[in-house]
């Protein structure tokens, strides 16, 4: 497994990272032992970077990940979690809450330090508070050694860019925006990097939309996007291929990011993903799929407060 530096942090991460939201049941019920086996399989196959949040399954994902990592040498993995989001509508980016949150995560994850702590889905918060209160609170924890690096995550790239330009952050995590269907992250990647932040691309399978089983009912994409993804999956099937394979190969091989985060709670899925990303994509199929998705290329959805969609236009 190839490794990259996480921006300027001096932390090395695997190019494929383990997304732990399925360990919170975000994609439906899962067997805990299968989830734990998935983590161990990932480690065995060279995945060293794990991304989680207290939000996933209302702390369940952190608890299961903590169980899986128990007894494993701490130098074998890099751990990223988040602060500020605790429920679908439960956000708290105050310094007091995020400090408490870090201590809670440390306990659940059974570790004495977190490699990366990210403000989770900043577009639902007050960006000025993130800049002037939340990130500084995390920097204070960094000074104590509990946290090694500080980042932000969210959907509107302009909100991430606004914060990264106003306050130094070590990492920016964007999701669903460097996939076969949506490549808007490509236009921001260099700006994030210039601000000193590592870029992390999460959800290369568009949160399940680019899989043969399709998305969960909660998927926020507009219907035409989901319909075109389903048509692309059917096209792949008709060619004897799995859309997830080419979607993963595309994002990992051309994303130009520090790491690509893929969610899994099953060891077989992890094995498949790791073996797929070692292969080059079928270029002919790739072009066919891109043509199929062209009518909905770069189409997404609104996430967060209206004034956080284009914060630069407001300031
Ligand atoms: P994803 O695009 O990685 O898709 C996950 C879905 O695809 C799951 O149903 C999984 O079972 C399935 N899948 C994974 N590998 C597969 C394979 N080889 N074949 C077939 N199906 C496969 O979406 P995600 O899990 O939501 O995102 C990845 C991770 O990124 C999350 O777990 C989380 O850690 C992070 N993330 C963070 C944010 C944020 O901070 N706001 C948002 C989205 C994702």
Which residue, among 163, 228, 174, has the nearest Cα to 203 in the 3D structure?
174
Instruction: For residue 204, give the ligand 1 atom closest to its CA.
Output: 2
pTM above 0.85, yes or no: yes
User: Do residues 154 and 303 make contact, with C-beta atoms less than 8 angstroms apart?
Assistant: yes
Instruction: For residue 263, give the ligand 1 atom closest to its CA.
Output: 25
Within 10 A of 90 (CB to CB), how many other CB atoms are there? 11
Query: Domain limits of the chain?
Result: 3-310
Instruction: For residue 118, give the ligand 1 atom closest to its CA.
Output: 40
The per-residue pLDDT for 313 is 62
Q: What are the CA-CA distances from residue 39 to residues 11, 79, 105, 131, 260 (Å)?
A: 20, 12, 18, 33, 16
- Using 70 as the pLDDT threshold, list the residues of the chain that sit under it: 313-315
The per-residue pLDDT for 255 is 80
pLDDT digits (tens, 9 = 90+) for 254-264: 988 999 999 99
pLDDT digits (tens, 9 = 90+) for 19-32: 999 999 999 999 99
For the segment(s) 3-310, the CATH number from 3.40.630.40, 3.20.20.100, 1.20.140.10, 3.40.50.1820 is 3.20.20.100
Q: Which residues contact 215 (CB under 8 A, 6 or more apart)?
A: 206, 207, 208, 209, 221, 226, 229
**In the chain, what is the greatest distance between 2 CA atoms, to the nearest angstrom?**
56
Report percent pLDDT > 90 for the chain: 97
The per-residue pLDDT for 314 is 57
Pocket of ligand 1 (CB under 6 A): 19-22, 27, 51, 120-121, 153-154, 173, 175, 202-208, 211, 244, 261-264, 269, 272-273
Q: Which of 117, 245, 262, 270 to mutate to test the pocket of ligand 1 (most atoms within 8 A of CB)?
A: 262
The per-residue pLDDT for 225 is 98
The per-residue pLDDT for 63 is 98
């Amino acid at each position: 497994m190839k490794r990259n530096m996480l921006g300027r942090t001096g932390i090395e991460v695997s190019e494929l990272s383990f997304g732990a939201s399925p360990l919170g049941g975000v994609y439906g019920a899962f067997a805990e032992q299968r989830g734990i086996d998935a983590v161990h399989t990932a480690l065995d196959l060279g995945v060293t970077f794990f991304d989680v949040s207290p939000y996933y399954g209302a702390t369940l994902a952190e608890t299961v990940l903590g169980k899986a990592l128990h007894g494993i040498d701490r130098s074998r993995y890099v751990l990223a979690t988040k602060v500020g989001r605790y429920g679908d509508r439960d956000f708290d980016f105050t310094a007091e809450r995020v400090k408490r949150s870090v201590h809670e995560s440390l306990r659940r994850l059974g570790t004495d330090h977190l490699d990366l702590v990210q403000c989770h889905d900043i577009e639902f918060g007050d960006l000025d508070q993130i800049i002037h209160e939340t990130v500084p609170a995390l920097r204070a924890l960094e000074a104590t050694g509990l946290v090694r690096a500080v980042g932000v995550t969210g959907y509107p790239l302009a909100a991430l860019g606004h914060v990264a330009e106003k306050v130094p952050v070590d990492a920016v995590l964007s999701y669903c925006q460097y996939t076969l269907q949506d490549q808007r992250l490509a236009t921001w990647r260099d700006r994030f990097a210039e601000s000193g932040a590592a870029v992390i691309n999460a959800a290369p399978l568009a949160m399940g939309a680019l899989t043969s089983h399709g998305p969960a009912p909660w998927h926020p994409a507009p219907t035409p996007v989901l319909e075109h993804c389903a048509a692309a999956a059917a096209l792949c099937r008709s060619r004897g291929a799995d859309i997830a394979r080419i979607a993963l190969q595309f994002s990992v091989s051309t994303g130009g990011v520090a790491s690509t985060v893929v969610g899994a709670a099953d060891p077989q899925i992890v094995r498949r993903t790791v073996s797929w990303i070692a292969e080059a994509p079928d270029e002919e199929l790739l072009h066919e799929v891109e043509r199929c998705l062209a009518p909905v290329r770069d189409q997404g959805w609104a996430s967060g407060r209206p004034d956080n969609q284009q914060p630069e236009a407001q300031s």
